[in-house]
Amino acid sequence: MIRKDSEDLVRVGPGTAMGELMRQYWIPAAMSSELKADGAPMRLALLGEKLIAFRDSAGRVGVMDHRCPHRCASLFLGRNEQNGIRCIYHGWKFDTQGNCVDTPNLAGNPGFKNRIKAKGYRTAERNGLVWVYMGKRAEAPPLPQIEATLLPDSEVTINFVQRECNWLQALEGDIDTSHFGFLHAGGVDPDDVPEDSLFRFTVANRAPDYHVTDTDAGTMYAAYREAELGKTYWRFANFMLPFWTQTPQGKFTEHLHNRAWVPMDDHHTMFVSLMWRHHPPSIGPDKHGRAMPGFRRAFDYLPNTTDWNGRWRLAGRPENDWLIDREAQRSGGNYTGIEGIHAQDQAVTESMGPVTDHLFEHLAPSDRMIMATRRRLLKAARALAKDGTVPPGVDDPAVMYPVRSGDFITDARLGWREAYDREMRAAIRPLKLAAE
Protein backbone atom coordinates (compact mmCIF):
# COMPACT_ATOMS: atom_id res chain seq x y z
CA MET A 1 0.00 0.00 0.00
CA ILE A 2 1.43 3.40 -0.88
CA ARG A 3 0.78 6.50 1.18
CA LYS A 4 -1.22 8.24 -1.56
CA ASP A 5 -3.64 5.30 -1.86
CA SER A 6 -4.02 5.19 1.88
CA GLU A 7 -4.73 8.92 2.16
CA ASP A 8 -7.21 8.76 -0.71
CA LEU A 9 -9.10 5.94 0.99
CA VAL A 10 -9.41 7.36 4.47
CA ARG A 11 -10.00 11.12 4.02
CA VAL A 12 -13.63 12.11 3.58
CA GLY A 13 -13.76 15.93 3.73
CA PRO A 14 -14.80 18.12 0.76
CA GLY A 15 -12.38 17.85 -2.16
CA THR A 16 -10.84 14.51 -1.09
CA ALA A 17 -11.05 11.46 -3.35
CA MET A 18 -13.30 9.45 -1.06
CA GLY A 19 -15.21 12.51 0.13
CA GLU A 20 -16.19 13.35 -3.44
CA LEU A 21 -17.09 9.73 -4.20
CA MET A 22 -19.39 9.56 -1.18
CA ARG A 23 -21.00 12.90 -2.06
CA GLN A 24 -22.32 11.25 -5.23
CA TYR A 25 -24.65 9.10 -3.10
CA TRP A 26 -27.55 9.66 -0.75
CA ILE A 27 -26.31 9.16 2.81
CA PRO A 28 -28.31 7.71 5.73
CA ALA A 29 -27.64 10.40 8.33
CA ALA A 30 -30.09 10.03 11.21
CA MET A 31 -33.12 8.17 12.43
CA SER A 32 -36.39 9.99 11.77
CA SER A 33 -37.16 9.62 15.47
CA GLU A 34 -34.14 11.77 16.38
CA LEU A 35 -35.84 14.91 15.08
CA LYS A 36 -39.06 16.32 16.57
CA ALA A 37 -41.14 19.02 14.88
CA ASP A 38 -40.06 22.41 16.29
CA GLY A 39 -37.64 20.52 18.57
CA ALA A 40 -34.05 21.42 19.37
CA PRO A 41 -31.70 21.32 16.39
CA MET A 42 -29.27 18.40 16.39
CA ARG A 43 -25.54 18.66 15.74
CA LEU A 44 -24.74 16.34 12.83
CA ALA A 45 -21.19 15.54 11.76
CA LEU A 46 -21.13 14.13 8.23
CA LEU A 47 -18.17 13.64 5.87
CA GLY A 48 -16.06 16.04 7.89
CA GLU A 49 -18.67 18.82 7.80
CA LYS A 50 -20.33 20.28 10.85
CA LEU A 51 -24.05 20.46 10.15
CA ILE A 52 -27.28 20.87 12.02
CA ALA A 53 -30.45 18.93 11.42
CA PHE A 54 -33.91 20.09 12.46
CA ARG A 55 -37.56 19.30 11.75
CA ASP A 56 -39.79 22.29 11.05
CA SER A 57 -43.40 22.87 12.15
CA ALA A 58 -44.70 21.10 9.03
CA GLY A 59 -42.47 18.05 9.64
CA ARG A 60 -39.92 18.80 6.93
CA VAL A 61 -36.26 18.08 7.73
CA GLY A 62 -33.53 20.64 7.13
CA VAL A 63 -29.81 19.82 7.12
CA MET A 64 -27.36 22.68 6.72
CA ASP A 65 -23.97 24.02 7.69
CA HIS A 66 -24.21 24.88 11.36
CA ARG A 67 -22.77 28.36 10.75
CA CYS A 68 -25.24 31.14 10.10
CA PRO A 69 -24.33 32.74 6.76
CA HIS A 70 -24.50 36.20 8.42
CA ARG A 71 -21.63 36.14 10.91
CA CYS A 72 -21.17 32.42 11.51
CA ALA A 73 -22.89 32.06 14.89
CA SER A 74 -23.95 28.44 15.27
CA LEU A 75 -27.50 27.69 14.21
CA PHE A 76 -27.36 24.87 16.75
CA LEU A 77 -28.30 27.58 19.24
CA GLY A 78 -31.14 28.70 16.99
CA ARG A 79 -34.86 28.94 17.70
CA ASN A 80 -36.72 26.28 15.72
CA GLU A 81 -40.03 28.05 15.25
CA GLN A 82 -42.81 28.48 12.71
CA ASN A 83 -41.33 26.60 9.78
CA GLY A 84 -37.75 27.69 10.08
CA ILE A 85 -34.73 28.11 12.23
CA ARG A 86 -33.95 31.56 13.55
CA CYS A 87 -30.38 32.50 14.45
CA ILE A 88 -30.24 33.86 17.99
CA TYR A 89 -27.57 36.45 17.15
CA HIS A 90 -29.47 38.89 14.90
CA GLY A 91 -32.65 36.96 14.26
CA TRP A 92 -32.16 35.90 10.64
CA LYS A 93 -34.40 32.99 9.79
CA PHE A 94 -33.95 30.09 7.36
CA ASP A 95 -36.35 27.49 6.00
CA THR A 96 -35.45 23.80 5.59
CA GLN A 97 -34.10 24.48 2.07
CA GLY A 98 -31.69 27.08 3.44
CA ASN A 99 -33.61 30.08 2.02
CA CYS A 100 -33.33 33.19 4.18
CA VAL A 101 -36.91 34.20 4.94
CA ASP A 102 -36.42 37.02 7.46
CA THR A 103 -33.72 39.54 8.43
CA PRO A 104 -35.44 41.48 11.21
CA ASN A 105 -32.37 43.56 12.15
CA LEU A 106 -32.44 45.19 8.68
CA ALA A 107 -35.64 47.18 9.07
CA GLY A 108 -35.40 49.28 5.92
CA ASN A 109 -34.13 46.53 3.63
CA PRO A 110 -36.70 43.76 3.21
CA GLY A 111 -35.14 42.55 -0.07
CA PHE A 112 -31.74 41.83 1.46
CA LYS A 113 -32.79 38.35 2.54
CA ASN A 114 -33.16 37.29 -1.08
CA ARG A 115 -29.40 37.59 -1.52
CA ILE A 116 -28.69 35.21 1.36
CA LYS A 117 -28.76 31.44 1.41
CA ALA A 118 -27.65 29.05 4.13
CA LYS A 119 -25.50 26.15 2.92
CA GLY A 120 -28.27 23.56 2.99
CA TYR A 121 -28.41 20.03 1.61
CA ARG A 122 -31.23 18.07 0.02
CA THR A 123 -32.94 15.68 2.44
CA ALA A 124 -35.41 12.84 2.12
CA GLU A 125 -37.12 10.54 4.58
CA ARG A 126 -38.09 6.96 4.01
CA ASN A 127 -38.92 4.08 6.35
CA GLY A 128 -37.48 5.63 9.50
CA LEU A 129 -34.28 7.08 8.04
CA VAL A 130 -33.29 10.65 7.18
CA TRP A 131 -31.17 10.75 4.01
CA VAL A 132 -28.92 13.61 2.94
CA TYR A 133 -27.52 14.35 -0.50
CA MET A 134 -24.32 16.38 -0.22
CA GLY A 135 -23.41 16.36 -3.91
CA LYS A 136 -23.36 19.22 -6.39
CA ARG A 137 -26.08 18.17 -8.83
CA ALA A 138 -28.95 20.60 -9.29
CA GLU A 139 -31.28 17.61 -9.38
CA ALA A 140 -30.43 14.97 -6.75
CA PRO A 141 -30.13 11.37 -7.98
CA PRO A 142 -32.84 8.84 -7.10
CA LEU A 143 -32.91 7.39 -3.59
CA PRO A 144 -31.00 4.11 -3.10
CA GLN A 145 -32.65 0.76 -3.71
CA ILE A 146 -30.69 -1.07 -1.07
CA GLU A 147 -33.08 -3.82 -0.06
CA ALA A 148 -33.48 -3.31 3.70
CA THR A 149 -33.93 0.45 3.24
CA LEU A 150 -37.05 -0.26 1.18
CA LEU A 151 -38.79 -2.20 3.95
CA PRO A 152 -41.49 -0.33 5.90
CA ASP A 153 -40.60 0.70 9.50
CA SER A 154 -42.68 -2.16 10.87
CA GLU A 155 -40.52 -4.73 9.05
CA VAL A 156 -37.05 -3.49 9.88
CA THR A 157 -34.98 -2.91 13.01
CA ILE A 158 -32.72 0.13 12.72
CA ASN A 159 -29.75 0.66 15.03
CA PHE A 160 -27.13 3.40 15.02
CA VAL A 161 -23.81 2.90 16.82
CA GLN A 162 -20.93 5.31 16.74
CA ARG A 163 -17.39 4.04 16.30
CA GLU A 164 -14.41 6.15 17.22
CA CYS A 165 -12.16 5.49 14.25
CA ASN A 166 -11.90 5.96 10.54
CA TRP A 167 -14.73 4.55 8.44
CA LEU A 168 -12.59 2.17 6.38
CA GLN A 169 -11.12 0.10 9.20
CA ALA A 170 -14.60 -0.09 10.75
CA LEU A 171 -16.13 -1.31 7.48
CA GLU A 172 -13.31 -3.76 6.82
CA GLY A 173 -14.30 -5.71 9.93
CA ASP A 174 -17.43 -6.75 8.05
CA ILE A 175 -15.53 -8.21 5.10
CA ASP A 176 -12.80 -9.94 7.12
CA THR A 177 -14.38 -13.35 7.50
CA SER A 178 -11.61 -15.30 9.21
CA HIS A 179 -11.76 -13.15 12.35
CA PHE A 180 -15.11 -14.69 13.26
CA GLY A 181 -13.56 -17.97 14.41
CA PHE A 182 -11.18 -16.07 16.70
CA LEU A 183 -12.47 -12.70 17.90
CA HIS A 184 -16.06 -13.87 18.33
CA ALA A 185 -15.85 -17.64 18.57
CA GLY A 186 -12.28 -18.44 19.56
CA GLY A 187 -13.50 -19.96 22.82
CA VAL A 188 -16.24 -22.11 21.30
CA ASP A 189 -15.58 -25.86 21.28
CA PRO A 190 -16.99 -27.37 18.06
CA ASP A 191 -18.25 -30.32 20.08
CA ASP A 192 -20.54 -27.97 22.01
CA VAL A 193 -22.27 -26.68 18.87
CA PRO A 194 -25.57 -28.41 17.97
CA GLU A 195 -25.32 -30.90 15.10
CA ASP A 196 -27.81 -28.99 12.96
CA SER A 197 -26.03 -25.63 13.28
CA LEU A 198 -23.90 -24.51 10.32
CA PHE A 199 -21.88 -22.51 12.80
CA ARG A 200 -19.99 -25.67 13.78
CA PHE A 201 -18.06 -25.54 10.48
CA THR A 202 -16.73 -22.07 11.33
CA VAL A 203 -15.27 -23.31 14.60
CA ALA A 204 -14.20 -26.75 13.34
CA ASN A 205 -12.02 -25.15 10.64
CA ARG A 206 -10.84 -21.65 11.43
CA ALA A 207 -8.85 -21.16 8.20
CA PRO A 208 -11.28 -21.00 5.27
CA ASP A 209 -10.42 -20.69 1.57
CA TYR A 210 -11.81 -17.81 -0.50
CA HIS A 211 -13.10 -16.63 -3.81
CA VAL A 212 -13.22 -12.85 -4.30
CA THR A 213 -14.68 -10.89 -7.19
CA ASP A 214 -15.81 -7.43 -8.29
CA THR A 215 -19.57 -7.11 -8.77
CA ASP A 216 -21.84 -4.48 -10.33
CA ALA A 217 -22.46 -3.09 -6.83
CA GLY A 218 -18.97 -3.43 -5.33
CA THR A 219 -17.17 -6.59 -4.29
CA MET A 220 -18.13 -10.04 -3.02
CA TYR A 221 -16.40 -12.99 -1.42
CA ALA A 222 -17.25 -16.59 -0.84
CA ALA A 223 -15.38 -18.24 2.00
CA TYR A 224 -15.64 -22.01 1.82
CA ARG A 225 -14.81 -25.06 3.89
CA GLU A 226 -15.43 -28.73 3.49
CA ALA A 227 -18.59 -29.65 5.38
CA GLU A 228 -19.45 -33.35 5.70
CA LEU A 229 -18.26 -35.65 2.92
CA GLY A 230 -19.09 -34.35 -0.57
CA LYS A 231 -20.49 -31.06 0.74
CA THR A 232 -19.20 -27.51 0.90
CA TYR A 233 -20.04 -24.94 3.56
CA TRP A 234 -20.27 -21.44 2.00
CA ARG A 235 -20.17 -18.00 3.57
CA PHE A 236 -20.94 -15.16 1.14
CA ALA A 237 -20.61 -11.46 1.96
CA ASN A 238 -20.70 -8.19 0.06
CA PHE A 239 -19.36 -4.70 -0.08
CA MET A 240 -21.55 -2.19 -1.91
CA LEU A 241 -20.37 1.27 -2.88
CA PRO A 242 -19.66 3.54 -1.22
CA PHE A 243 -19.85 2.27 2.41
CA TRP A 244 -22.39 -0.57 2.62
CA THR A 245 -21.82 -4.17 3.65
CA GLN A 246 -23.64 -7.45 4.14
CA THR A 247 -22.09 -9.97 6.51
CA PRO A 248 -22.11 -13.75 6.11
CA GLN A 249 -23.33 -14.87 9.55
CA GLY A 250 -26.95 -15.94 8.96
CA LYS A 251 -29.15 -18.21 6.87
CA PHE A 252 -28.71 -16.93 3.32
CA THR A 253 -32.31 -17.18 2.15
CA GLU A 254 -33.64 -15.10 5.06
CA HIS A 255 -30.63 -12.90 5.79
CA LEU A 256 -32.05 -9.57 4.69
CA HIS A 257 -29.80 -6.92 6.18
CA ASN A 258 -27.71 -3.96 5.15
CA ARG A 259 -25.04 -2.16 7.12
CA ALA A 260 -23.62 1.29 6.39
CA TRP A 261 -20.39 2.75 7.77
CA VAL A 262 -21.08 6.45 7.41
CA PRO A 263 -18.09 8.71 8.01
CA MET A 264 -18.86 11.53 10.44
CA ASP A 265 -15.31 12.82 10.01
CA ASP A 266 -11.95 11.14 9.46
CA HIS A 267 -11.93 9.80 13.03
CA HIS A 268 -15.58 9.00 13.76
CA THR A 269 -18.01 6.72 11.97
CA MET A 270 -21.72 6.07 12.38
CA PHE A 271 -22.67 2.45 11.90
CA VAL A 272 -26.20 2.18 10.55
CA SER A 273 -27.69 -1.29 10.77
CA LEU A 274 -30.92 -2.34 9.09
CA MET A 275 -32.17 -5.84 9.78
CA TRP A 276 -35.37 -7.49 8.56
CA ARG A 277 -37.36 -8.35 11.68
CA HIS A 278 -38.19 -11.88 10.58
CA HIS A 279 -34.58 -12.87 10.15
CA PRO A 280 -33.89 -15.82 12.48
CA PRO A 281 -31.05 -15.49 15.04
CA SER A 282 -27.91 -16.72 13.31
CA ILE A 283 -26.33 -18.51 16.26
CA GLY A 284 -28.46 -20.09 18.95
CA PRO A 285 -27.48 -21.68 22.27
CA ASP A 286 -24.98 -24.52 22.51
CA LYS A 287 -25.86 -28.22 22.77
CA HIS A 288 -26.53 -27.86 26.48
CA GLY A 289 -28.93 -24.94 26.00
CA ARG A 290 -26.40 -22.36 27.22
CA ALA A 291 -25.76 -19.07 25.43
CA MET A 292 -22.45 -19.09 23.55
CA PRO A 293 -19.83 -17.19 25.57
CA GLY A 294 -19.43 -13.51 24.67
CA PHE A 295 -22.28 -13.56 22.14
CA ARG A 296 -24.65 -11.06 23.70
CA ARG A 297 -26.40 -9.01 20.98
CA ALA A 298 -27.61 -5.90 22.84
CA PHE A 299 -25.84 -2.53 22.64
CA ASP A 300 -24.91 -0.80 25.91
CA TYR A 301 -25.29 2.87 25.06
CA LEU A 302 -24.09 5.91 26.93
CA PRO A 303 -26.72 8.66 27.06
CA ASN A 304 -26.65 10.77 23.90
CA THR A 305 -25.26 14.28 24.25
CA THR A 306 -25.59 17.29 21.96
CA ASP A 307 -21.89 17.19 21.07
CA TRP A 308 -20.77 16.64 17.46
CA ASN A 309 -19.70 13.15 18.50
CA GLY A 310 -22.30 12.65 21.19
CA ARG A 311 -24.77 10.36 19.43
CA TRP A 312 -25.05 6.60 19.91
CA ARG A 313 -21.80 5.93 21.78
CA LEU A 314 -21.20 2.64 23.56
CA ALA A 315 -20.19 2.21 27.19
CA GLY A 316 -17.09 0.17 26.22
CA ARG A 317 -14.61 2.66 24.79
CA PRO A 318 -10.88 3.36 24.45
CA GLU A 319 -10.62 5.08 27.86
CA ASN A 320 -11.90 2.00 29.71
CA ASP A 321 -10.16 -0.63 27.54
CA TRP A 322 -13.56 -1.55 26.07
CA LEU A 323 -14.46 -3.13 29.46
CA ILE A 324 -12.18 -6.09 28.83
CA ASP A 325 -12.45 -8.73 31.56
CA ARG A 326 -9.07 -10.47 31.83
CA GLU A 327 -10.43 -13.22 34.04
CA ALA A 328 -13.07 -14.10 31.44
CA GLN A 329 -10.36 -13.98 28.77
CA ARG A 330 -8.10 -16.35 30.76
CA SER A 331 -10.81 -18.83 31.64
CA GLY A 332 -11.22 -19.62 27.94
CA GLY A 333 -14.94 -19.46 27.28
CA ASN A 334 -14.92 -15.88 26.06
CA TYR A 335 -11.86 -15.62 23.82
CA THR A 336 -11.60 -11.83 24.11
CA GLY A 337 -12.95 -11.19 27.60
CA ILE A 338 -15.21 -8.60 25.93
CA GLU A 339 -18.95 -9.18 26.05
CA GLY A 340 -20.94 -8.87 22.84
CA ILE A 341 -20.11 -9.42 19.18
CA HIS A 342 -20.44 -5.77 18.22
CA ALA A 343 -18.40 -4.66 21.24
CA GLN A 344 -15.61 -7.06 20.21
CA ASP A 345 -15.52 -5.63 16.67
CA GLN A 346 -15.64 -2.13 18.15
CA ALA A 347 -12.66 -2.84 20.42
CA VAL A 348 -10.34 -4.25 17.78
CA THR A 349 -11.06 -1.64 15.12
CA GLU A 350 -10.86 1.30 17.55
CA SER A 351 -7.68 -0.19 19.02
CA MET A 352 -5.98 0.31 15.62
CA GLY A 353 -6.00 4.04 16.37
CA PRO A 354 -8.08 6.84 14.82
CA VAL A 355 -6.80 5.90 11.35
CA THR A 356 -5.05 2.60 10.62
CA ASP A 357 -1.49 3.08 9.45
CA HIS A 358 -1.72 1.06 6.24
CA LEU A 359 2.04 1.18 5.80
CA PHE A 360 2.44 -0.77 9.04
CA GLU A 361 0.11 -3.61 8.01
CA HIS A 362 1.06 -6.96 6.51
CA LEU A 363 -1.93 -8.09 4.53
CA ALA A 364 -2.17 -11.85 4.01
CA PRO A 365 -4.05 -14.16 1.64
CA SER A 366 -6.94 -14.08 4.14
CA ASP A 367 -7.26 -10.33 3.38
CA ARG A 368 -7.95 -10.64 -0.33
CA MET A 369 -11.45 -9.23 0.06
CA ILE A 370 -10.05 -6.21 1.85
CA MET A 371 -7.49 -5.64 -0.91
CA ALA A 372 -10.12 -6.04 -3.65
CA THR A 373 -12.45 -3.61 -1.89
CA ARG A 374 -9.76 -0.95 -1.46
CA ARG A 375 -8.92 -1.28 -5.17
CA ARG A 376 -12.60 -1.02 -6.11
CA LEU A 377 -13.02 2.15 -4.03
CA LEU A 378 -9.90 3.78 -5.45
CA LYS A 379 -10.90 2.86 -8.99
CA ALA A 380 -14.36 4.41 -8.60
CA ALA A 381 -13.00 7.54 -6.89
CA ARG A 382 -10.28 8.06 -9.49
CA ALA A 383 -12.61 7.51 -12.44
CA LEU A 384 -14.90 10.14 -10.95
CA ALA A 385 -12.05 12.58 -10.39
CA LYS A 386 -10.52 11.98 -13.82
CA ASP A 387 -13.45 12.25 -16.16
CA GLY A 388 -16.56 12.48 -14.02
CA THR A 389 -17.48 8.78 -14.36
CA VAL A 390 -20.58 8.36 -12.21
CA PRO A 391 -20.00 5.48 -9.77
CA PRO A 392 -22.27 2.39 -9.65
CA GLY A 393 -25.64 2.71 -7.98
CA VAL A 394 -26.02 6.49 -8.25
CA ASP A 395 -28.04 6.77 -11.47
CA ASP A 396 -28.78 3.03 -11.53
CA PRO A 397 -29.83 2.34 -7.92
CA ALA A 398 -31.35 -1.03 -8.87
CA VAL A 399 -27.84 -2.61 -9.07
CA MET A 400 -27.75 -2.49 -5.26
CA TYR A 401 -31.00 -4.40 -4.84
CA PRO A 402 -30.22 -7.98 -5.87
CA VAL A 403 -27.35 -8.50 -3.43
CA ARG A 404 -27.49 -10.92 -0.53
CA SER A 405 -25.13 -12.59 1.90
CA GLY A 406 -25.23 -15.51 4.32
CA ASP A 407 -24.25 -19.11 4.76
CA PHE A 408 -25.45 -22.45 3.38
CA ILE A 409 -24.30 -25.90 2.31
CA THR A 410 -24.23 -27.36 -1.19
CA ASP A 411 -22.97 -30.36 -3.01
CA ALA A 412 -19.20 -29.92 -3.29
CA ARG A 413 -19.30 -30.21 -7.06
CA LEU A 414 -21.25 -26.98 -7.44
CA GLY A 415 -19.13 -23.96 -8.49
CA TRP A 416 -19.27 -20.88 -6.31
CA ARG A 417 -21.18 -18.70 -8.79
CA GLU A 418 -23.75 -21.42 -9.38
CA ALA A 419 -24.08 -21.92 -5.64
CA TYR A 420 -24.74 -18.20 -5.14
CA ASP A 421 -27.20 -17.93 -8.02
CA ARG A 422 -29.15 -20.94 -6.85
CA GLU A 423 -29.40 -19.62 -3.31
CA MET A 424 -30.43 -16.19 -4.61
CA ARG A 425 -33.31 -17.76 -6.51
CA ALA A 426 -34.48 -19.35 -3.26
CA ALA A 427 -34.06 -16.15 -1.21
CA ILE A 428 -37.17 -14.72 0.41
CA ARG A 429 -38.07 -11.27 -0.97
CA PRO A 430 -40.62 -9.51 1.21
CA LEU A 431 -40.79 -6.73 -1.36
CA LYS A 432 -40.95 -7.03 -5.09
CA LEU A 433 -39.36 -4.23 -7.06
CA ALA A 434 -41.24 -3.10 -10.13
CA ALA A 435 -38.05 -3.74 -12.10
CA GLU A 436 -37.86 -7.41 -11.12
Give the residues lining the site for ligand FES (CB under 6 A).
68, 70-71, 73, 87, 89-92
User: To the nearest whole angstrom, how small is the minimum distance from the Cβ of residue 98 to ligand FES?
Assistant: 13
Query: Binding partner of residue 37 among ligand FES, Fe ion, none, CB under 5 to 8 Å per kind?
Result: none
Cα 412 from Cα 201, distance rounded (Å): 14
Query: Binding partner of residue 71 among ligand FES, Fe ion, none, CB under 5 to 8 Å per kind?
Result: ligand FES
Distances (CA, A) of 18 to 298, 376, 386: 32, 12, 13
Query: Binding partner of residue 345 among ligand FES, Fe ion, none, CB under 5 to 8 Å per kind?
Result: Fe ion
Residue 172 sits in the site that holds Fe ion (CB under 5 A): no
For Fe ion, the closer CB: 182 or 301 = 182
Binding segment (CB under 5 A) for Fe ion, from list 197-205, 217-225, 345-353, 421-429: 345-353
- Dihedral over alpha carbons 14, 15, 18, 19 (to 10 degrees): 20
For Fe ion, the closer CB: 164 or 345 = 345
Q: What are phi and psi of 162, to 5 degrees?
A: -80, 145
Mapped onto helix, strand or coil, the DSSP state of residue 252 is helix
**136: which DSSP letter?**
-
For Fe ion, the closer CB: 11 or 255 = 255
For Fe ion, the closer CB: 286 or 345 = 345
Query: Binding partner of residue 417 among ligand FES, Fe ion, none, CB under 5 to 8 Å per kind?
Result: none
Cα 270 from Cα 30, distance rounded (Å): 9
User: To the nearest whole angstrom, how small is the minimum distance from the Cβ of residue 257 to ligand FES?
Assistant: 43
Query: Binding partner of residue 79 among Fe ion, ligand FES, none, CB under 5 to 8 Å per kind?
Result: none
Closest C-alpha among 12, 73, 6 to residue 261: 12
CB 133 within 8 A of CB 389: no
Q: Which position among 345, 350, 367, 407 is part of the footprint of Fe ion (CB under 5 A)? A: 345
DSSP codes of every residue in 55-84: E-TTS-EEEEESB-TTT--BGGG-EE-SSS
For Fe ion, the closer CB: 232 or 247 = 247
Positions that interact with Fe ion (CB under 5 A): 345
